[in-house]
A and B are shown apart, each in its own frame.
Chain A
Amino acid sequence: MKMKASVYLLTSILFVLLLSACGSKAYTPQAINEETDICVMCNMAVKDDPYATQIITVDGQSLKFDDIGCMNEWKVENGTDTIGAEFVRDHHSGDWVKYETAYYAYHSDYKTPMAYGVISFSSEKAAQAFVQEQGKGEVLSAEMLASHTWEVNRDMMNMEHMEQHKEEMHHTEGGSHS
C-alpha cells in the first residue's frame, strides 16, 4: 500500500517537472504551411514569404498573419497579455526574427500583402540599405513602430481620405505583391 502511494507521488512529481519544463521552454515559431494557414485577421492565405508574421501565445497556440499590419490589428483588438512571443521575418533570408529586435522599413508605396507598407529586417543596416535602394521610406525600430499609425495605402472605410491619397500613389517596385 505504502509502495503504491510513493509510486503515485513519484509520478506526479515527474509530471509537474515535465509541465514546468514545458513552461520554461522558449517560444519557437512554426513553419508556414501554405496549404492550410490563413491570416487570423484578414482570412487571406499566408504565403511562405518574408511578409508573414507570427504570434505564439502563452499557451503555445500559433497565430499567423500575412502582413505585419494584421498582427498589429490583432494586438489592438486582443491586447498583449496572451502573447508569449512575436516573430517577423528578415526580408532577404526569410529567417524568423523576434519582433522586438527586428528593424523595419516603411513607406506607403511599399507593396505588402495587405498594403500596410511595413517590411521587416534582422538588422538596422539591412533596413537602411533597403530604404536607400528604394529611394524612399524610413527605418523604424520596434519601439518606433509602437507609435506608427498603421495606415493602409487606401482606406475603404474612409473614402474622403482616400481620394486625397490617390494623387500621391504611383506604382513602384517595392517588392512583390500577392
Chain B
Amino acid sequence: MKGLFKLSIGFISITALALSNGISVGGAQSPINKDLQAAIDSSAEGEVMVLASGEYEGPIIINKPITIRAEDGGTVTLMNRTEQAAVTIAADRVALVGLTIHDVRLKEQPSISIVKSDEALLHKLHIRTGSYGIRATDSNHMTIREALIEWGIPEEERKVKLSQKGNGIDLYHSHDNRLLQNTILSMHDGIYMENSDRNVVEDNRFERLRYGVHCMYTADALIRGNTGQYNITGAMIMAVRGAEVSDNQFTRQNENVNSQGILLFDAHDSVVQNNEVAGNRVGLYVEQSTGNLIAGNQVLGNFIGLQLLKAENNEMTDNVFAGNVVQAEARQSTSNTLVSNYWDSFQGIDADGDGQSDLQYAISPLFQSIVKAKPVFQLFFQSPSFVFLEGLYQSDRGSWTADSGPLMKPSLSRAGGQAMQTGTNLMTAAAGLLLLLIAISILLLMGVRKP
C-alpha cells in the first residue's frame, strides 16, 4: 500500500451513526480507485465508511447495503474518467452522503446509476456530469435530497446541443421516491419521471434547463414548492393522472419561442393550485386535459396568461390574471367551469354588489385558430389591426370559453396579488402628483401673460 493510504477498521451499527467510528479510507493525495472498490468489497453489510478528504478514482459499484460518507467538513471527490457510471448502486438501502462526483466525459451512462435497488439515500451530493446526474430504474422508496447537479463540461471546452445532455434526476418505472431540496442547473430536464408513480418532488430549484419537471405517464405525482427560472418550460406535466402541482414558482421562462411556465398536456384529474407563474411567454398552457382543478394561481406579466386548447371539463377558479399582454386564449375548449377568476384588463359591471361581474368574460378563439392554420400570423400578435378584428369577431360566441362570474377585484386571500395592486396604485398616484406639480409650475411661470 502507498504510504499515504491509511485504513482503520471499525464496525458500527446502523443505529449509532456517529461518524467517528466508521471505516475511514483515503488520504490527502492518494487517488487509488482499486482501494476504494476493495474497501467496499471487504466491508460488511450495514457498515458506515467515512472517507477522508481527497480525490478518489471511480467508477465504483456498490452491491451491498452500506453507507459511504465524506468526513465532516471534508471534501471528498470521486473522479470518473471512464464511460461507465461513476457510482453504480445495485443493492437496497445504500446511502451516499456529502460526496462530490465529477464525471468528466461526455457519455451515455449516468453519473449515478441505480438499478432495481430500493431505499437508497442520496444526501448532499454534488454531481458534475457529462451525462445524466442520477438515473434510477425499477427502484422505489429512494430519498434524494439537497443535491446540486450541474452540467460538468465547460462550454468553452466543448459546446454540446441541449439534447446531448442528460436529465438531472431521471426516474423510470420507479415509485414512491422523494426528491427534495435539490438544485439542478444547465442540464436537459431537471427531474424526469416516466412510468413512475407517487413520487414527491418538493422544494427543488431548476435553472437553465429544457424542462424543470417533466412527467410522462405518471400517476399521483406531488410537485410542490419548486422554483424555476430561465428554463424552456418550468413544469411539463404530460400524460398524468392525479397529480398535484402546488405552491410552485415558475418565472421568466421566456427565452425560447416555445416557453411556458406550466404546461398540462393529456393531464387528468389533477390539481394545479397556488402556483405563481410570472414573466413567461405563456403562463399556464392547458391542452387535451380533462377534469383538473386549476385554482388560486397567480398568473402575472406573461405574454399570454392562459392558453386552453381542446381542454374539457376543467374547473378554474380564484386565479389572478394580471399584467399579461393577452390574458387568455382558448380554442375548442368546452364544458370548462370558469368562475371567480380575476382578469385585470376586464371591465365588468357588478350591479348586485356580490364582487362578481354580471357580465361574463369570454375568451376569443380567433387568434389561436388563425395561428393554428397559418403559424406565420403570429407576427400579428397584438397588432392594432388584429385587436380590432378580434373585437369584431363574435361568431358562435355561445360556445367560447368564458368566466361566468369574473371577480371585480383580485381575491383577498391572495396576498401577492394585493401587494402588487397597492404597489401599482401608489405608483400611479405618485406619477399623477408629479404631473400635476409640473403643470402648475408651468402655468405659474409661463402661463400668465404679462401686460
Residues of A near any B CB (own CB < 8 A)? 34-36, 38, 42-45, 47-49, 61, 114-115, 152-154, 156-157, 159, 169-171, 176-178
Residues of chain B with a CB closer than 8 A to A114's CB? 216
Q: CB of B194 within 8 A of chain A? A: yes
Task: Report how far A166 CA is from B263 CA in the complex, Å.
Answer: 26
A42 and B195 contacting across the interface, CB-CB below 8 Å: no
B258 and A156 contacting across the interface, CB-CB below 8 Å: no
Known contacts A43-B265, A171-B172, A171-B173; is-contact A48 B161 (Cβ 8 Å): yes
Task: Report how far A141 CA is from B155 CA in the complex, Å.
Answer: 43
A153 and B219 contacting across the interface, CB-CB below 8 Å: no
**Chain A proximity mask over B170-210: 1 for CB below 8 Å, otherwise 0:** 00110000000000000000001011000000000000001
Which of B95-103, B233-241, B420-428 forms contacts with chain A?
A: B233-241
Task: Report how far A176 CA is from B131 CA in the complex, Å.
Answer: 13
B264 CB to closest chain A CB (Å) equals 10
A177 and B172 contacting across the interface, CB-CB below 8 Å: yes
B163 and A34 contacting across the interface, CB-CB below 8 Å: yes
A153 and B195 contacting across the interface, CB-CB below 8 Å: yes
Task: Report how far A35 CA is from B255 CA in the complex, Å.
Answer: 10
Contact of A44 among B173, B236, B256, B285 (CB under 8 A): B236
Q: CB of B137 within 8 A of chain A? A: yes
Known pairs A45-B162, A169-B173, A176-B108 / 12 extra A-B pairs, C-beta < 8 Å: A36-B257, A42-B238, A48-B163, A115-B216, A115-B217, A154-B217, A154-B239, A156-B266, A159-B219, A170-B138, A177-B194, A178-B192
B265 CB to closest chain A CB (Å) equals 6
Q: CB of B126 within 8 A of chain A? A: no
Residues of chain A with a CB closer than 8 A to B223's CB? none
The 7 closest A-B pairs by CB, nearest first: A154-B217, A47-B163, A156-B241, A156-B239, A38-B258, A171-B137, A36-B257
B138 and A171 contacting across the interface, CB-CB below 8 Å: yes
Residues of chain B with a CB closer than 8 A to A43's CB? 258, 263, 265, 285, 287
B195 and A157 contacting across the interface, CB-CB below 8 Å: no
Task: Report how far A178 CA is from B256 CA in the complex, Å.
Answer: 19
Q: CB of B69 within 8 A of chain A? A: no
* Nearest A-chain residue to B217, judged by Cβ: A154
A111 CB to closest chain B CB (Å) equals 9
Residues of B near any A CB (own CB < 8 A)? 108, 137-138, 161-163, 172-173, 192, 194-195, 210, 216-217, 219, 232, 236, 238-241, 256-258, 263, 265-268, 285, 287, 375
Q: Which of A47, A114, A154, A156 has the most CB of B within 10 A?
A: A156
Residues of chain B with a CB closer than 8 A to A47's CB? 163
Residues of chain B with a CB closer than 8 A to A36's CB? 256-258
B163 and A49 contacting across the interface, CB-CB below 8 Å: yes
Residues of chain B with a CB closer than 8 A to A156's CB? 217, 219, 239-241, 266-268
Task: Report how far A114 CA is from B194 CA in the complex, Å.
Answer: 10
Residues of chain B with a CB closer than 8 A to A171's CB? 137-138, 172-173
A74 CB to closest chain B CB (Å) equals 12
Contact of A154 among B138, B195, B232 (CB under 8 A): B195
* Nearest A-chain residue to B372, judged by Cβ: A40
Residues of chain B with a CB closer than 8 A to A170's CB? 138, 173
B257 and A153 contacting across the interface, CB-CB below 8 Å: no
Task: Report how far A171 CA is from B114 CA in the complex, Å.
Answer: 13
* Nearest A-chain residue to B137, judged by Cβ: A171
B266 and A34 contacting across the interface, CB-CB below 8 Å: no
Residues of chain B with a CB closer than 8 A to A61's CB? 375
Known contacts A38-B258, A43-B258, A171-B172; is-contact A157 B137 (Cβ 8 Å): no
* Nearest A-chain residue to B374, judged by Cβ: A61
Task: Report how far A115 CA is from B266 CA in the complex, Å.
Answer: 14
B258 and A45 contacting across the interface, CB-CB below 8 Å: yes
9 contacts between A and B (CB under 8 A): A34-B163, A38-B258, A45-B258, A47-B163, A154-B195, A156-B268, A170-B138, A170-B173, A171-B137
A169 and B263 contacting across the interface, CB-CB below 8 Å: no
A135 CB to closest chain B CB (Å) equals 18
Residues of chain A with a CB closer than 8 A to B375's CB? 61
Residues of chain A with a CB closer than 8 A to B265's CB? 42-43
B195 and A169 contacting across the interface, CB-CB below 8 Å: yes
Task: Report how far A159 CA is from B266 CA in the complex, Å.
Answer: 13
B362 CB to closest chain A CB (Å) equals 25
Task: Report how far A35 CA is from B109 CA in the complex, Å.
Answer: 25
Residues of chain B with a CB closer than 8 A to A153's CB? 195, 217
Residues of chain A with a CB closer than 8 A to B263's CB? 43
B217 and A45 contacting across the interface, CB-CB below 8 Å: no
B230 CB to closest chain A CB (Å) equals 15
